[in-house]
Structure 1
Amino acid sequence: MTGTLPSGMELFGVQRLRLVEGEAPVLSAELEAARDQVWEMAVAANPALFDGPVVGCAGLRWEEPGTLFVRWAAVTYRHYALRQVPGGGALPSLFVNVIQPTDDGRVVVARMSAATAVPGRWQLPGGSVEPPGVGGALDEEALSGQAARELAEEVGVEVEPDKLRLWAATRRGNLSVGLTYLAPPLPEAELRGRFAAVVAAERSAGREPELAEIVFVRSPHELAGLAGPHAGHVEPVVRRYAEAALRRGV
């Protein structure tokens, strides 16, 4: 069900989630000041950063085979500046991402644009989990909905959330927890056309698209050939999907 990879990234097979809200760590005045100083320096270096609402992972454990318990807490991006503060105690970030396969067994991998917080990084379509609005709940339906929204906004693929299957989870020490969803396969030509439409629409509105380009990879070897930084979760997810595709004969 789980394995530790050479990068320190763990990969879990998961079928269900149980989510419960917790509380963010209470910070001393000294930690708050140190956090804010690090954040302000980061924003000065990269104005693309913004202090929007996000969800941190306050706890993670197995409850039964295939069911992952997640305790979450509402924070903002500023919270993760605590990673640069000794003894800061930052929560791991919680994010969703999507495997969008082609009908011949390859996977969409995307490069972040220069206007983002991590320019040039290769990753799967996805983004940070956001806390629910007033009266809302953060549950399995909400998470698959956020994954579907990221896929539509970034790649132009509109899919009903219930068509996305929770497929894996990744954990990188105390830095991040990712929930990976599997989308129905589509032809490469259709995916390229949908992505081109997203790029054109963003630029016509005077905005820089979040993704600079997409490519299609069949294996970790092809992924390794992409120049530039890679998000830590991409290689193990691509490897697992490629192995599963090989077993299916795709």
Structure 2
Amino acid sequence: MPDTLIVTRPLAQAGELAQRLREAGRDVVVFPLLDIQPLPDPTALRAVLARLTDFALVAFVSPNAIDATFAQLSAWPVTLPLAVMGEGSRRALARHGVSAPHYQISSPHDTERTDSQTLLLALDLERLRGRRVLILRGESGRELLADALRAAGVVVEQVAAYRRSVVPLDAARAQQLGTLLATPHGWIITSSQALQGLLESAAHVDPLQGVAKLQQQHFYVPHRRIAETALACGLQHIHLTDAGDDGLLTALQSRP
């Protein structure tokens, strides 16, 4: 495995993982590919939070959705169940004072597979049939969870809590990316959108060789969907890890 690891998470979420990697003896570069921003107009989010009692369950798609929601909310109703994808979201809830056993929080039983499909297996869909479920997410996202809930007879409402965009490629970032592409490194990619942004940036920095240089890099991804995106883009050195920081660190430690 390359000595240097590139952490590409949004800046606010990159620090903890970078520190753990450094403690494990790795050289780390933080190079965020996505930027998480508040909504320019949170009116719709505030309106739905004002009627949380309308819902039988609220599902958060990510820690970003949790942080953005609680920025608009003073406290969570104790009787309102929540659902999250993984341990990162459980920790985000805990930072806001929401944790078991005081609150009912559903999440995938298999902590090594944390996505919409495994979350569905953890939900009591029969209890939710005919009732309302709120999904809080970014401005864009996959529809799998919402579609599956609707297919089970659940009334679904989705509301954006934050905005996610590719970090602009200014002169300083372009120079840094060019340097990183010059030799093989290990890139930790946790989003298909981030991967697409990296490909576009590499092609912009080096129109002739940028993508070819990316094909010499190693990519560590926590989800099969991201791995499939990488393969479809012609990337070759793809390592699928378990979900979460622990799964990533275990995979990295098992490689020379």
**TM-score, normalising length: structure 1:** 0.25
Say which structure is richer in helix.
2
- Relative contact order higher in (CA < 8 Å, ≥ 6 apart): 1
Larger radius of gyration: 2
**TM-score, normalising length: structure 2:** 0.25
